[in-house]
Amino acid sequence: MSVSQTRRVRVAPEASGFGARITGVDLSQPLDPRDLEDVRAAWARHAVVCFPGQPLSLDALEAFTLQIGPFGKDPYIEPMPGRPNVLELRRQPDEKASNFGAGWHSDWSFLETPPAATLLRAQIIPPVGGDTLFVDASRAWDALSDAMKAVVAPLQAVHSARQSYGTKGVFARDTEARTMKIIVSEEADSSLTHPLVRTHPVTGRKALYISPVYTVGIEGFTPEESQALLGFLFAHLTREEFIYRHRWTEGDLLMWDNRCTMHFAEGGYDGHLRVMHRTTVQGEVPV
C-alpha cells in the first residue's frame, strides 16, 4: 500500500520568478527530508527565498544552516563570541560609519570556494531604510546578445578582497567608529581568478559572476579594457528588471544563492538600530 503525503512547503514566488516566500515550515525544528527537498528546490529555482515569521534562536539558525550544508569560511570579520560561524551585523543608532555590505557583491567571491548560500536573520529592523537588494545574475546573462555572450563566456575575472579589507582598502581608511570588528589584512591584497560566467551546479543555468566590490579586473586585459567591459556589465547587471528588493520584517530569515546573485545592503536608517545574524554554507570551486 502506498502512503501519500501532502506537501507542507508553500512557495509564493515574486511576480518575476526571482525571489520567493516560503511558508508551511517551522525552521526551529529539523526539517523532514521531503520538506528539505522542497526548500532546496524552491531555493534553486528562485535564488533568494524568505521564510517569514521564523524568530530563530542562534542555535536554531546554526542547525538550519547545517541542514543546507557545512558552514562556509567567513574571513575578515570577527564572529560572535563562542559562535565561530555566526556574524552579527550590528549598526548602532549613533554610528556614522557606512553600513556593512553597502556595495554590490556576491559573498566572499575572492575565495577559492566561495559560499553557495548566505542566511540572514532579521533580529532588529529599523523603522525606515535597511532594505537588501538582489540582482538576478542568471537573467542578466540570458539578456545579453549572442555576440556579447561569445565575448565574455571564455573570460576569467580577477577577484580580490583588497578594495574592502586590504591594507589600502575602504576599511583600512575608515575613520568612523564601527561596532562590527573588521580585520584588515595583507592577505586581502591577494587575488585569484574565477570564470566570468559560471554554471549553477544544480540548475545548469549560466550567470555573470562578477561584482563591483570584489572583481578587480579581467585576466589578460589592460586595466582600461577591464574597466570598460566590467563597467558595461555592472551597469547591465543592475538594471531595474533584474532587481528584487527585500523589505525586512523582524523574524524574516532570508537565504540567497551567491552563485547566481549579487546583493547590496541599503542604508537610510541613521539614528536607528539594525541587528542581523548571518551564516554561510560552503560552496564549490566556480566552473
Q: How many helices (H) and strands (E) does the chain have?
A: 6, 15
Residue closer to ligand SIN (CB basis): 72 or 101: 101
> Is residue 117 close enough to count as binding ligand SIN by CB under 6 A?
no
* Min CB(123)–ligand SIN separation in Å: 11
Q: Residue 42 and residue 19: Cα distance in Å, rounded?
A: 9
* Min CB(279)–ligand SIN separation in Å: 11
Residue 278: how many CB atoms within 10 A of its CB?
A: 23
> Is residue 89 close enough to count as binding ligand SIN by CB under 6 A?
yes
Beta pairing partners, 77: 182
Q: Residue 16 and residue 109: Cα distance in Å, rounded?
A: 26
* DSSP percent split of the chain into helix, strand, coil, nearest 5: 20, 25, 50
**Set of cell numbers at residue 92:** 548602532
- Pattern 156-195, ligand SIN, x by CB under 6 A: ----------------------------------------
The DSSP element (H or E) to which 159 belongs, if any, is strand 156-160
Residue closer to ligand SIN (CB basis): 64 or 134: 134
* Min CB(250)–ligand SIN separation in Å: 14
Q: Are 125 and 9 spatial neighbours (Cβ–Cβ below 8 Å)?
A: no
Q: Residue 231 and residue 229: Cα distance in Å, rounded?
A: 5
Residue closer to ligand SIN (CB basis): 9 or 77: 77
Residue closer to ligand SIN (CB basis): 152 or 243: 243
> Is residue 100 close enough to count as binding ligand SIN by CB under 6 A?
yes
DSSP string covering 111-156, please?
SSS--SEEEEEEEE--SS---EEEEEHHHHHHTS-HHHHHHHTT-E
Report angle CA 236, 242, 245 to the nearest 5 degrees: 125
Residue 245: how many CB atoms within 10 A of its CB?
A: 12
* Min CB(25)–ligand SIN separation in Å: 22
Residue closer to ligand SIN (CB basis): 19 or 206: 19
Strand order in the sheet with 243-246: 243-246, 132-136, 261-265
Number of chain positions touching ligand SIN (CB under 6 A): 9
* Min CB(275)–ligand SIN separation in Å: 10
**Set of cell numbers at residue 22:** 516560503
* Min CB(94)–ligand SIN separation in Å: 18
* Min CB(44)–ligand SIN separation in Å: 20
Task: State whether residue 74 is helix, strand or coil.
Answer: coil
* Interface with ligand SIN in residues 258-277 (CB under 6 A): 263, 265, 276
Q: Which of 65, 106, 132, 163 binds ligand SIN (CB under 6 A)?
A: 132
Residue closer to ligand SIN (CB basis): 120 or 260: 120
> Is residue 108 close enough to count as binding ligand SIN by CB under 6 A?
no
* Min CB(278)–ligand SIN separation in Å: 6
The footprint of ligand SIN (CB under 6 A) covers 89, 100-101, 120, 132, 263, 265, 276, 278
